[in-house]
Structure 1
Amino acid sequence: MDHLRVIVTIADVGSFSAAARKLRRAQSAISQAVAALEELQGVRLFDRSGHRPRLTDIGQVLVEQARLVLASAARFEAVAASNRSGLEAELALAIDPLVPTGPLIESLHALRKTYPDLPVSFTTEGLGGALRRLRNDTAALAICLLLPAVPEDIVAYPLLRIDMIPVVASGHPLASLTRPATRSDLEPHVQLVLSDPLDPSGASYGLSSARLWRFVDLGRRLDFLLAGFGWCRMPSHLVSKPIAAGQLTRIEIENDPTPPDGLTIYAAHRRNRAPGVAGRWLLDELKRRLCA
């Protein structure tokens, strides 16, 4: 590592003597370090025939590799130092597909600025997947729905509510109804539902059709919705523009079980596994940003 630092410094400052001054060493020690590295690798890093040393072709390549190695080593040391001070080794997050992206991105930007060396893993799960990751300890914090209620083994903080709007493509037969749709109106048509990919037969909510097409992600479901394959409830922030453009039509459903004030998005963790320093910071940031 020391030899790599020497050759990078020479490349940056332009000479052995300048590198010696910057590293506060004798020039002979700098020359010996370069010679030792050249002998070890069996290559010539610097052309010394001129007034100033000049990187050879292989020297230029290896100096760039040295920069990567030194940067990786610095991150290694920073993560270890952060962990000694109480920061978790890694923050694993699991996010439900219904969570709005904008405020989440802003909070993650703030997290990165506050803890720039913290490794963060991030997964977007199918419906129910975030809760499963909490329970199998592959996520420390989840941003998710918890239906029908918050489980006993989970601590959850309500962040925001999202409106779920029943919609169909404007050319779909349900779009022409002039009254609230009844269950018998909905049953013949395909309902596009979000599903847990590992347990598609698990608990489902708001099902009204006999034919179900199951999706893991909202984006693909929106594509099929716009193409007229069926109806579904979608977050208002995703369908407001297609509705305004005439691509989608909002339908009313008789005795709709969806809460009129929307579904609650929670930040959650296991009751017996409290988040670490960065997890608590992110939790407070999300509550500050979304609960205001």
Structure 2
Amino acid sequence: MIESLTLDQLRVLVTIAETGSFSAAGRKLYRVQSSISQAVAALEEVQGVRLFDRSGHRPTLTEIGRVLVDQARTVLVTARKFEAVAASAREGVEPELKLAIDPPIPSEPLIESIRALNSSFPDLPVTFSTEGFGGSLRRLRSKTADLAICVLLPTVPDDVVAFPLMRVRLQAVVARDHPLATLGRPAEREDLVPYVQLVLSDPVDPGRPNYGLAGDRLWRFVDLGRRLDFLLAGFGWCRMPMHLIQQPLTAGQLVPIEIAEDQTPAEGLTIYAAHLRERLPGRAGRWLLADLRTRLAGVNQE
């Protein structure tokens, strides 16, 4: 009967399996052997199974006993996690931290901050999702994300508190065999219109405002990796974060192009850490914000 099952009984069972005997388990748990035997007998009686074969010199786990030891370990880990999360909540740590990340964000500094977060808050469940362009803001507003690492265009919305973290410089590029690669001068709008522009788009709301569009031949992508594949294959032109195209630029697979009267900020896109104004982050969220701001202070991705 599950209501008669105790964590103490499971702890005794696992300790016997780990130490190899009832007496060794008693020494490890600072209990007399008779107490260990009583805990096992009670567990066997309540569950209606024989956990140990007592026919030999020392009791050995039965087949079902070995299976239940594994189950007991899982239950004990879950119970420890339960206690740890409750203790963290008492100290102001949120029960879960949900992050949403926009496509242009460089992975390396984010990975380092999340690794540090896991070290500082080892019992904190962290949920991580990468989004199409604009998806992180939507997740904040739907309250399915606590923090967003994102681009906010054209301005920071009134319902969001945002902290600038870094800038990511964009470069307009084409494949080396694309007609625009040999234009030899800054491309005017009339030069760009005949060709496909590879655009990062919001998969939920593709009609939302877009920036930097130069024509009607738009191929829309949710992720930067697939857009890069099509860019390298010569299907169109686009602006890409420099940290993603440095290698193909160096290898000559991509060619930079200059766009006349380009409205893209020369200093690059600003990357923000953001949360809803009405939903203040907990202790772990504040820690992550501070770590990101410290780690990325003055850093520009070029």
Which residue is 1:100 aligned to? 106
Q: Match of 1:266, as an amino acid?
A: Y
Write out per-residue CA displacement over residues 32-83 of structure 1, whole angstroms, 9 at most, x where no aligned residue: 2212222333332222223332222222222112111111111011001110
Which residue is 1:193 aligned to? 199
Write out per-residue CA displacement over residues 6-53 of structure 1, whole angstroms, 9 at most, x where no aligned residue: 110001111111212222223222112212222333332222223332
Q: Is the aligned partner of 1:284 residue 2:290?
A: yes
Which residue is 1:270 aligned to? 276
Q: Is the aligned partner of 1:12 residue 2:30?
A: no
Write out per-residue CA displacement over residues 187-214 of structure 1, whole angstroms, 9 at most, x where no aligned residue: 0111010111110000100001220011
Structure 1 residue 130: Cα displacement: 0.8
Secondary structure (helix, strand or coil) at the match of 2:157 reads coil
Q: Match of 1:100, as an amino acid?
A: P
Distance of 1:251 and 1:48 partners within structure 2:
80
Taking structure 1 as the reference length, the TM-score comes to 0.97
In structure 2, runs of 5+ residues without a counterpart are: 1-6
Structure 1 residue 284: Cα displacement: 0.2
Write out per-residue CA displacement over residues 182-237 of structure 1, whole angstroms, 9 at most, x where no aligned residue: 11111011101011111000010000122001111111111111111111100000
Which residue is 2:231 aligned to? 225
Q: Structure 1 residues 73-82 or 29-38, which shifts more?
A: 29-38
Write out per-residue CA displacement over residues 242-281 of structure 1, whole angstroms, 9 at most, x where no aligned residue: 1111111111111111011111001111122211100000
Secondary structure (helix, strand or coil) at the match of 1:19 reads helix
Secondary structure (helix, strand or coil) at the match of 2:274 reads strand
Task: Say if 1:14 and 1:53, in contact at 8 Å, map to a contact too.
Answer: no
2:54 is aligned, of 33, 48, 55, to 48
Write out per-residue CA displacement over residues 90-148 of structure 1, whole angstroms, 9 at most, x where no aligned residue: 11111101100000000000000000001111111111111111122111111100101
Which residue is 1:109 aligned to? 115
Distance of 1:221 and 1:69 partners within structure 2:
45
Taking structure 2 as the reference length, the TM-score comes to 0.94
Distance of 1:162 and 1:232 partners within structure 2:
15
Q: Structure 1 residues 231-240 or 85-94, which shifts more?
A: 85-94
Which residue is 1:131 aligned to? 137
Secondary structure (helix, strand or coil) at the match of 1:200 reads coil
Distance of 2:186 and 2:114 partners within structure 1:
41
Which residue is 1:215 aligned to? 221
In structure 1, runs of 5+ residues without a counterpart are: none
Secondary structure (helix, strand or coil) at the match of 2:132 reads coil
Secondary structure (helix, strand or coil) at the match of 2:99 reads strand
Distance of 1:55 and 1:168 partners within structure 2:
67
Which residue is 2:3 aligned to? none
1:179 is aligned, of 169, 176, 185, to 185
Which residue is 2:159 aligned to? 153
Which residue is 2:246 aligned to? 240
Q: Match of 2:113, as an amino acid?
A: S
Distance of 1:225 and 1:16 partners within structure 2:
67
Secondary structure (helix, strand or coil) at the match of 1:146 reads coil
Task: Say if 1:190 and 1:213, in contact at 8 Å, map to a contact too.
Answer: yes
Distance of 1:141 and 1:249 partners within structure 2:
36
Q: Is the aligned partner of 1:36 residue 2:42?
A: yes
Aligned residues: 292
Distance of 1:40 and 1:250 partners within structure 2:
74
Q: Structure 1 residues 270-279 or 106-115, which shifts more?
A: 270-279
Structure 1 residue 180: Cα displacement: 0.9
Distance of 1:105 and 1:154 partners within structure 2:
24
Q: Match of 1:204, as an amino acid?
A: N
Which residue is 1:77 aligned to? 83
Secondary structure (helix, strand or coil) at the match of 1:210 reads coil
Identity %: 69
2:74 is aligned, of 68, 74, 96, to 68
Secondary structure (helix, strand or coil) at the match of 1:149 reads coil
Distance of 1:55 and 1:222 partners within structure 2:
57
